[in-house]
Structure 1
Amino acid sequence: MILGRPTKSRRRPRLPVQERTSPSPAWSDKRLVWACLRGDDQAWSALIDKYKNLIYSVPIKYGASPEDAADVFQGVCLELFSELPHLREIAALRSWLITVAARKYFHLMRSQRKRAGAEAETDNKVVLPVLVEELEGEQMIREAVERLPSRCREMIRLLFYEHPALPYSQVAERLGLATGSIGFIRRRCLQRLQQILEESGF
């Protein structure tokens, strides 16, 4: 019996990186929005996860209760879902979300005053530019943290987002590191965070 030459196995074509990875909050707004418009449910979840803190922070800045902030959040998500195909400037998504969240909060407050029989305010409140700048800055920091390596990302959260702040010993225990190494790694992580922020135009 004559054996033929072994046939070469056909390799499957490699997909581009962006097609092989699942959507995440670390993706750019443009990439997430395009994926959402293609019907990608994971992209929608990632987009909301990326901006949930920003949306919540708007009514909280105005003194809203957690319940009212949750109502505003739901309203903004619904409007974003319906308006997503019509957004003209995806690069301005952050400021658009801030404006919509503020408008939803003001409307909610007027409705609550009317139901309570109180006189509604006649002046139209506007979102102060300084507030928009502050909220956008906070969002840029959140996005920069998401771009850090996983260990740095977790360390930043443990050191700066926990209330009350955790001592180095607890941070080291949670990360499985030596307590004496926390200070050095912290400096390296903050340097990387600063670099990402500078690249983003912060």
Structure 2
Amino acid sequence: MDGMPKPQEQSVSDAQASIQDIVQRCLAGDEAAWHEFVDRHSRLVYSIPRRYGFDRESSEDIFQDAFLAAYRSLGSIQDPQSIPKWLITTTVRICAKSAKAAKKAGQLRADFDKDLIDDRQAERLMQIQELRAGLERLGGRCERLLTALYCGVQTPNYDEIADLIGIPRGSLGPTRQRCLKKLASLLNTEHD
């Protein structure tokens, strides 16, 4: 066609440039870029208050507060690759503040603070976000295969996965290995 890469062919450096481009466009007032920024990080941010047991309405308020803070601070974040960690930290702080206010108002159980995540859990959330982003960058067959094998709630049924992916059952193992190598390469390149 016109030589444009397909989304699944996007390299890690392209993805890094992409977030830098999105941030620059946001700072220039591009509303579409802001929507893209929010879409890219929405699952990560929304999962944090839900994990702590906030109801949907409170989680949505925390979500909005976190992205408002991001909007206000976007120009001061030096490394766009640190945005997920910054969002996690900010969202956890907003959760703690909301929990404290709810506790004072008698709307929260007394031991709620025990549920707030520590640095290790925040790091784990960031790793999960990086894995999701890596899987999305892989795209296509590799994304579908690895998601079916490792991200499901049940033990994988190899016959169903083979049908879903459109390959013989005996090819799942070698294909999985190639996909895992590609994913590892993407993730390792991102951290170099």
- The TM-score normalised by the length of structure 1 is 0.71
Aligned partner letter, 2:15: W
- 1:80-128 deviations in Å (ceiling 9; x for gaps): 223323434434212211111001111111122122277989x9xx963
- Greater Rg, structure 1 or structure 2? 1
Work out the CA distance in 1 between the residues paired with 2:123 and 2:65.
22
C-alpha contact (below 8 Å) 1:158/1:165 kept by paired residues: no
Work out the CA distance in 2 between the residues paired with 1:100 and 1:119.
23
Give the CA RMSD over aligned residues.
3.5
**Which residue of structure 1 aligns with residue 44 of structure 2?**
54
C-alpha contact (below 8 Å) 2:99/2:108 kept by paired residues: no
**Which residue of structure 1 aligns with residue 184 of structure 2?**
194
SS of residue paired to 1:147: helix
Work out the CA distance in 1 between the residues paired with 2:41 and 2:25.
16
1:84 to 51, 68, 74: 74
Does structure 1 residue 106 correspond to structure 2 residue 96?
Answer: yes
- 1:43-87 deviations in Å (ceiling 9; x for gaps): 3333223222322343355x3245244432232122222332343
**Which residue of structure 1 aligns with residue 163 of structure 2?**
173
* 1:170, distance to aligned residue in structure 2 (A): 1.4
Query: Any unmatched runs of 5+ in structure 1?
Result: 1-13
* 1:183, distance to aligned residue in structure 2 (A): 1.9
* 1:186, distance to aligned residue in structure 2 (A): 1.0
- The farther-off stretch of 191-200 and 89-98 is 89-98
C-alpha contact (below 8 Å) 2:145/2:161 kept by paired residues: yes
2:22 to 4, 27, 32: 32
**Which residue of structure 2 aligns with residue 64 of structure 1?**
53
- 1:116-141 deviations in Å (ceiling 9; x for gaps): 277989x9xx9633233322222222
Work out the CA distance in 2 between the residues paired with 1:48 and 1:197.
22
C-alpha contact (below 8 Å) 1:56/1:70 kept by paired residues: yes
- Corresponding pairs, count: 180
C-alpha contact (below 8 Å) 1:60/1:69 kept by paired residues: yes
**Which residue of structure 2 aligns with residue 9 of structure 1?**
none
**Which residue of structure 2 aligns with residue 156 of structure 1?**
146
- 1:138-185 deviations in Å (ceiling 9; x for gaps): 222222222214211121112111212431111122222222222221
Check 1:197–1:104 CA distance in 2 against 1; reply closer, same or farther (3 A cut): same
Query: Any unmatched runs of 5+ in structure 2?
Result: none
Work out the CA distance in 2 between the residues paired with 1:155 and 1:182.
8
Bigger helix share: 2
* 1:33, distance to aligned residue in structure 2 (A): 0.8
Identity %: 26
Structure ranking higher on relative contact order (CA contacts 8 Å, 6+ apart) = 2
**Which residue of structure 2 aligns with residue 45 of structure 1?**
35
- The TM-score normalised by the length of structure 2 is 0.74
Aligned partner letter, 1:178: P
Aligned partner letter, 2:43: N
Check 1:175–1:137 CA distance in 2 against 1; reply closer, same or farther (3 A cut): same
Work out the CA distance in 2 between the residues paired with 1:131 and 1:160.
20
